[in-house]
Structure 1
Amino acid sequence: MDPLSRLCTSCGLCCDGNLFTQVPLLADEVALLRRRGLPLLARGDRLPVVEQRCAALAGNCCTIYDERPQGCRGYRCMLHAALAADEVGLEEALAVVVQTQALLGALADALPPGHGAPLRRARVEARAGTLTASASAAVGAAARQIGRHFDREAGRVATTG
């Protein structure tokens, strides 16, 4: 497996609900994903979307990687771009992924028990005014890491609620 694919299939952060809440679909992708058994979120008369955490994500790996939607294929995180440009090596990139997953784990531990992506859950807590100081610090650490290596917009939104 090439290094870029290995990074993607080892990471899963763009699929687990921490960076994005949904993936838009093209018309020809809807039937394929339904045949693969993926639940799709209906949106009235518009095309459905894949809600994140994606049901095709097993651990950190996409189980439909070769058939993933165009919205997924087209996304390139900043870490992917750095690896593609030889600004970082694969081992360094994988270490960043492990560190980010650890920060998200620490955030999950600082939040009340629940399901879903830690950053999404933290946004809910922040809006409700119930985010603890320790969870707030953990959000900051995870959001800075995500903003530095994965998606600047997702990192910014995570810290602003």
Structure 2
Amino acid sequence: MTDTNEILSPADTLCVTCGLCCTGHLFLWAKLKSVEVQTVRGLGLNVLGVEPENRGFGLPCPLWAGKCPIHTSPDYPHACRTYKCKLLKQVIDESTPLSEALDIIEQIKDRIKELKTLLPASPNNNFRERLVAHLEHLDELSTLGDSDRQFQQKAAELLSFYRKQLGVKGLFERLEEDD
């Protein structure tokens, strides 16, 4: 478990503050190594997949509670421990100060909050899936109202942030071709 009094490196501070990987805003699932399956199940995570090379757990991570409780634990999955977004790499190599990186994350989270309020209600709690489904639905409509066009614009801005600031691609191909 992460001790709240523990002093974290700038990179760890960014990770535990950000959490966009953990919350399902960037990815649908995290891959597991075979040796991690039992440990992760013991933590209460539902392991998906039967093939050893295709096992993982769905996101948002059920352990996430505003902060990762196992970030510095030996139980922290390999995929979580080794993934480094573009912004994290910049903090590690000191080309972006932690304070600036945290500001960028707050801007991204603000855009996500705004889009969440505009998404239709859904039993699916994965923001990424809901966003893509709604954008695909809007693409199928013959005419769009002003609010739909504004939603598309805000979503395009968020996905641009994902690509430019975090280096994450592949959420919605049509919007990514426009860059």
TM, length-normalised to structure 2: 0.79
Q: How many angstroms apart in 1 are the aligned matches of 2:14 and 2:104?
A: 10
Question: Where does the alignment leave 5 or more consecutive residues of structure 1 unmatched?
Answer: none
Preserved contact between residue 28 and residue 126 of structure 2 (Cα < 8 Å): no
Change in 2 beyond 3 A, CA 1:158/1:33: farther
* Counterpart selection for 1:76 from 74, 84, 91: 84
Q: Identify the range of structure 1 (135-144 vs 108-117) with the bigger mean alpha-carbon deviation.
A: 108-117
Q: Secondary structure at the match of 1:23?
A: strand
Q: Secondary structure at the match of 1:50?
A: strand
Q: Identify the range of structure 1 (49-58 vs 124-133) with the bigger mean alpha-carbon deviation.
A: 124-133
Change in 2 beyond 3 A, CA 1:57/1:159: farther
Preserved contact between residue 147 and residue 155 of structure 1 (Cα < 8 Å): no
**Amino acid in structure 2 at the alignment position of 1:25:** L
Q: Within 5 A, what are the aligned runs for 1:12-161?
A: 12-41=19-48, 43-46=49-52, 47-59=54-66, 61-65=67-71, 66=73, 67-114=75-122, 115-128=124-137, 129=140, 132-154=148-170, 157=173, 159=175
Q: How many angstroms apart in 1 are the aligned matches of 2:170 and 2:78?
A: 20
Change in 2 beyond 3 A, CA 1:151/1:117: farther
Q: Please name the residue that 2:4 is paired with.
A: none
Q: Secondary structure at the match of 1:94?
A: helix
Q: Identify the range of structure 1 (145-154 vs 97-106) with the bigger mean alpha-carbon deviation.
A: 145-154
Q: How many angstroms apart in 2 are the aligned matches of 1:37 and 1:150?
A: 29
Instruction: Give a deviation string over 1:101-160, Cα, whole Å, max 9, x none.
Output: 001111111211234243321211123336922221121111111111112324664835
Preserved contact between residue 85 and residue 168 of structure 2 (Cα < 8 Å): no
Computing the radius of gyration from Cα coordinates, the structure with the larger value is 2
Q: How many angstroms apart in 2 are the aligned matches of 1:29 and 1:55?
A: 16
Fraction of identical pairs, as percent: 25
Preserved contact between residue 24 and residue 49 of structure 1 (Cα < 8 Å): yes
**Amino acid in structure 2 at the alignment position of 1:51:** G
RMSD: 2.2
Equivalences, count: 159
Q: Secondary structure at the match of 2:100?
A: helix
Q: Secondary structure at the match of 1:8?
A: helix
Runs of 4+ in 1 over 6 A off after TM superposition: none
